[in-house]
Structure 1
Amino acid sequence: MSASRWMAAFTFAAFLSCSVAFCDSYTPRNPSPFGPDWRAQDDWSYPRDPMQGWPFGQAPETYPPNRYQRHSHTPEPHIAPRHEEAKPRPDPAERLKKALAPPPDPNVQREQALKNLQDRLQAAQDADEAKGLAGLIQEIWLRSPSPTANLLIRRAGAASLAKDFSSAEDILDRLVLLQPNWAEAHNQRAQLRFLTGNFQGAMIDIDETLRLEPRHFGAMTTMGLILEQTGFEAQALTIFRKSLTVYPHQPAVEALVKKLTLAVEGRDI
């Protein structure tokens, strides 16, 4: 090999060693805005696709402080899938049966709701609970499936509040003819007849009310008042006590029971 070739080879080797030494000691003054100097990183395990994140996005937290230090990604802990109890799939035949079933009878639903409230009323522990349940029961009693009947009973109530008892009774007469199986229609007319002194007509309506609704505490109370005012104190006491078994914690009725008990059962003392 000629001397010129030896000189060229020596010069290239010296240049290469100087370049390597310079790169080892080089620290960039202005690092890349994309994070550490990823262009000098020789770990090609990092993604270089801009759609995959770093180095074009946020650098990982596990990036080593030395940009030449080779490292591996810390694998994320494996999270076992959450196994829930498999819910049984509904039977298509059952779903079809429910879809084709006729809607529940409103009268049956009304009777079930009324029975539930009446049972809770009989087991009430204090006057406030009993009063609230009694109010709910009376709301059900005052509702009829017929919009016309509901309108008539409201008009009768308005006429009674205005002391127009004659018009109120005429309306209730038509209501009873329209809805003969509605217990509250008979009860409203019984109360009106009691207020006007028609005790015989009131007792007829009370009997019909209790036939249709045996636990109608309002009709029982009206019957007890009629019996008391007509001199049948013992029978009135029996009716008031029965009313308290259906609707306990009635202060007015309890006072009447106390008074009649003293009058009827305390005579021989």
Structure 2
Amino acid sequence: MRFIVLALALFPTIGLAECPAPPDVRAEMLNLIAKSQAAKTYSDGRRVSGEMWEVWLRAPDEAAQEVLDAGLRRRDSYDFPGALAEFDRLAAYCPDYAEGFNQRAYIHFLQGNYEAALVDLDIALGLQPLHIAAQSGRALTLMNLGRIDEARVQLLEAVDNNPWLSEAALLAEGAPLGPKGRDI
């Protein structure tokens, strides 16, 4: 009985429901990656990037969507502890939904907790290998941990999947993840 009361207190929106498995979006993401790679203009590329976000932000059920949206609102109003609590709830309720972990990683990143961010990003990418935002977030996290070579490899993968990422600028000559020095 104590567990039920505790569960309802921690997860009032969700209660004792079980999160359904997230839909398989691999084919949809592969199509969006192809559209991104074929885009000819910045505007077209950014539009496809937005379509990718629409896929990632589609929660498995209404309860999960409510928690995700609440966390995003808290994040957007700089209530990072509140956002983290919502994303913790989402990850506990939907442990197979990558975006819960990706958003929690972003909060950890914003708070400078790069090790925790990396753990969540690895989970997100294990669940959704084509989550390009998690790929680029992982690259930024590795960069902040001083793991430059790994960060470069990860960002190259993300940019290959979506050449319109703003983080691509980090790969330019002279940028933090740019090419190493030249031979004389």
TM-score between both structures, scaled by the size of structure 1: 0.55
**Following the alignment from structure 2 to structure 1, what is the Cα–Cα distance between the partners of residues 58 and 92?**
17
2:102 to 176, 187, 194: 187
Tell me which residue corresponds to 1:150.
65
Q: Does 1:257 find its partner at 2:171? A: yes
**Following the alignment from structure 2 to structure 1, what is the Cα–Cα distance between the partners of residues 60 and 81?**
26
Matching of residues 114-133 of structure 1 within 5 Å:
114-133=29-48
Q: Which runs of 4+ in 1 moved over 6 A?
A: none
Shift of 1:137: 1.4
**Following the alignment from structure 1 to structure 2, what is the Cα–Cα distance between the partners of residues 132 and 174?**
31
Shift of 1:166: 1.1
Tell me which residue corresponds to 1:198.
113
**Following the alignment from structure 2 to structure 1, what is the Cα–Cα distance between the partners of residues 157 and 110?**
23
1:116-162: per-residue Cα shift (whole Å, max 9, x none)? 22332233333222211111111111012310110001111111122
Shift of 1:198: 1.2
Higher helix proportion: 2
**Following the alignment from structure 1 to structure 2, what is the Cα–Cα distance between the partners of residues 107 and 221?**
23
RMSD: 2.0
- 2:37 and 2:162 in contact (8 A); partners too: yes
Q: Secondary structure at the match of 1:107?
A: coil
Matching of residues 67-146 of structure 1 within 5 Å:
107=23, 110-146=25-61
Go from structure 1 to structure 2 and tell me whether the alpha carbon gap of 1:261 and 1:144 turns closer, same or farther (over 3 Å shift). Answer: closer
**Following the alignment from structure 2 to structure 1, what is the Cα–Cα distance between the partners of residues 128 and 37?**
15
- 2:29 and 2:130 in contact (8 A); partners too: no
Q: Which has the higher contact order (CA 8 A, sep 6+)?
A: 2
Tell me which residue corresponds to 2:144.
229
Q: Secondary structure at the match of 2:120?
A: helix
The gaps in structure 2 that reach 5 residues or longer are 1-21
TM-score between both structures, scaled by the size of structure 2: 0.78
Shift of 1:267: 6.0
Q: Does 1:220 find its partner at 2:135? A: yes
Tell me which residue corresponds to 2:76.
161
1:211-244: per-residue Cα shift (whole Å, max 9, x none)? 1111211111111112222222222111111111
Rg larger for: 1
Which letter does structure 1 place at the counterpart of 2:99? Answer: E
Q: Secondary structure at the match of 2:75?
A: helix
Which letter does structure 2 place at the counterpart of 1:254? Answer: A
**Following the alignment from structure 1 to structure 2, what is the Cα–Cα distance between the partners of residues 162 and 107?**
30
**Following the alignment from structure 2 to structure 1, what is the Cα–Cα distance between the partners of residues 80 and 113?**
12
Go from structure 1 to structure 2 and tell me whether the alpha carbon gap of 1:113 and 1:220 turns closer, same or farther (over 3 Å shift). Answer: closer
1:37-76: per-residue Cα shift (whole Å, max 9, x none)? xxxxxxxxxxxxxxxxxxxxxxxxxxxxxxxxxxxxxxxx
1:62-115: per-residue Cα shift (whole Å, max 9, x none)? xxxxxxxxxxxxxxxxxxxxxxxxxxxxxxxxxxxxxxxxxxxx935x544333
Shift of 1:202: 0.7
**Following the alignment from structure 1 to structure 2, what is the Cα–Cα distance between the partners of residues 146 and 214?**
21
**Following the alignment from structure 2 to structure 1, what is the Cα–Cα distance between the partners of residues 95 and 33?**
23
Which letter does structure 2 place at the counterpart of 1:234? Answer: D
Go from structure 1 to structure 2 and tell me whether the alpha carbon gap of 1:261 and 1:187 turns closer, same or farther (over 3 Å shift). Answer: closer
Which letter does structure 1 place at the counterpart of 2:52? Answer: I
Which letter does structure 1 place at the counterpart of 2:139? Answer: G
Give the share of equivalent positions with the same residue, in percent: 30
